[in-house]
Chain A
Amino acid sequence: MHDLLSLRETETHDIRHLLTTAATLKDILSRPVKKVPTLRGRVVVTLFYEASTRTRTSFELAAKYMSADAVNIAVAQSSVTKGESLKDTLRTLQSVTADCIVMRHPSSGAAHLAAQFADVPVINAGDGRHEHPTQGLLDALTIAQAKGRTGSFRLDGLSVVIVGDLAHSRVARSNVWCLTKLGAQVRWCGPATLMPADASGLPVTVHTDLAEGLHEADVVMVLRLQTERQEKGLLPSVREYARTWGVNAAALRVARPDALVMHPGPMNRGVEISAEVADGVGGIRVGIEDQVRNGVAVRMACLYLLMDQPPDAHGGASSPTSTDVAPEVRS
């Protein structure tokens, strides 16, 4: 694995390896010294062509906990002229010794383009409506931990419903690929105007009724409603959306009693999720804080497994001569 561009293209065993590694690295977050020297002297560049605080901070923390240096380059969207300029930016970053590039870009496919230009690993931190692979991984880790599946990372028999604005959600796409590869069943649930045209081609069942979508669900993943959707005429009003599609305690009653509620953040309380659900009032199980912690752990695992891999190092352990690494120890 040289880059992490999409979970659709990531092999299932690589997904499990990333999750297993993340589950182990998570221990570092609860230590008195939250730092291991593993990536000392390496440089991680976060290149964000789109505003983001959480994801960028999470990547920066992950880099720092692994002792890498994190440099953020915020690119004003106005200065983006695709193609050549992205190429030039990446070349420049490489020439200033970036060892890994974490990129967010408003255009779907931008990460793949970047990976073609860059020799160093590229991690997709969200590209347009396409994918947000580290979010998919952290959601899978959160579900596996909540449901006691971290031994095998098999999610067979679990029904996960993703509720909300699916048409514009890269989170929903990464989750579909990740969760179905791990064995879960995924439902998409939302108003028809916010359902992508290609949903029928994805391994999901589509529901345009909230009660139907949440019925007996093990996990309820609520997506953020971007208020600009209303301006584009896809919604009558935010209040009407909250009334019809907002996940509140009453709506959750049709889900399984131990259903886990998740949200990628930042939340619009009172819109797509009610305050009582967000706060876990009345025994509602909420995974939102775990998602944030797991986000850092997953990104640590991505940096650990992707960085420093020499070209053609796929599983190849050269013959040990003067080192004391066990032959069993290999990538």
Chain B
Amino acid sequence: MDVRQVMDADEMRRALTRIAHEIVERNRGAEAVGIVGILRRGAPLAERLAEMIRQIEGIRPPVGKLDVALYRDDFPERRPDVRPSHLPYDVTDRNIVLVDEVIFTGRTVRAAIDALMDLGRPASIQLAVLLDRGHRELPIRPDYVGKNVPTARTEHVHTSLSELDGEDSVTIARDSAPGGDRDA
């Protein structure tokens, strides 16, 4: 199995720190910002970004987590488990930053936008990802990108996060990666 690491813990921390600064800059502070992590791996990243923004701005934006299973367009083939979404704040009139670890086809993000719109009317929706691996199938572009990494469609991108997996890293495996976790 051919596995290469494209991001280690330090790179991940720096990328997230930069994204946190960009979010604050773009939104002129953190006053009206809300962070929403797409389950599962977007959720811990959303918490990290909120904490970094607190260190920069002194305001910790509210954090939610969003399950998009019910909004997917590909569920007839494989039925995903439904996990509870948790949005402890009203998204209406906030600038919402959606967070996911990898953007690939864009279909997950499309589902997340629809899921969010059913919960309220955000002032704006922005997208932050740790890694953009290309191969978009929808006209969706992230606003904040940790790293752009060209990949082959058949490759598997695996993100490990210390909260869930015990370490921070992003690796790419060629073809048959057993248990490769996700290519969102």
Contacts and interface: CB of A to CB of B under 8 A. Distances in A.
Interface string A296-308: 0000000011001
Q: Closest 6 interchain pairs by CB?
A: A326-B182, A331-B79, A329-B80, A36-B70, A324-B105, A38-B70
Contacts of B69: 329
Given A322-B137, A324-B105, A325-B74, A308 B181 contact: no
A32 B118 CA distance: 8
A324 B184 contact: yes
B10 to A, nearest CB: 26
A321 interface: yes
Interface stretch (A20-28, A154-162, A200-208, A230-238): A20-28
A309 B83 contact: no
A159 B160 CA distance: 44
Nearest to A301: B82
A328 interface: yes
B108 interface: yes
A27, A66, A323 interface centre (most CB from chain B within 10 Å): A323
B79 A326 contact: no
A16 to B, nearest CB: 12
Interface string B166-184: 0000000000000111111
B84 interface: yes
Contacts of B85: 27
Contact of A323 (B83, B107, B180): B107
Interface of B: 67, 69-72, 74-85, 104-108, 114, 118-120, 137, 153-154, 179-184
Interface residues of A, number: 33
A321 B175 CA distance: 10
Interface of A: 21, 23-25, 27, 31-33, 35-38, 66, 304-305, 308-310, 313, 317-318, 320-331
B118 A33 contact: yes
Contacts of B76: 308, 310
A317 B76 CA distance: 11
B155 to A, nearest CB: 11
Given A66-B70, A308-B76, A308-B79, 15 more contacts: A24-B84, A27-B85, A31-B119, A33-B118, A309-B79, A310-B77, A322-B137, A324-B104, A324-B106, A324-B108, A325-B74, A327-B179, A329-B78, A329-B182, A330-B80
A322 B183 CA distance: 10
13 contacts: A21-B81, A31-B118, A31-B119, A32-B120, A33-B119, A304-B79, A322-B137, A324-B108, A327-B179, A329-B81, A329-B182, A330-B78, A331-B79
Contacts of A309: 79
A323 B107 CA distance: 8
A303 to B, nearest CB: 11
Nearest to B102: A324
A322 B70 contact: no
Contacts of A324: 104-108, 182-184
Contact of B184 (A21, A27, A308, A326): A326
Nearest to A305: B79
B147 to A, nearest CB: 18
Contacts of B105: 322-324
A317 B105 CA distance: 18
Contacts of A36: 70-71, 118
A317 B82 contact: no
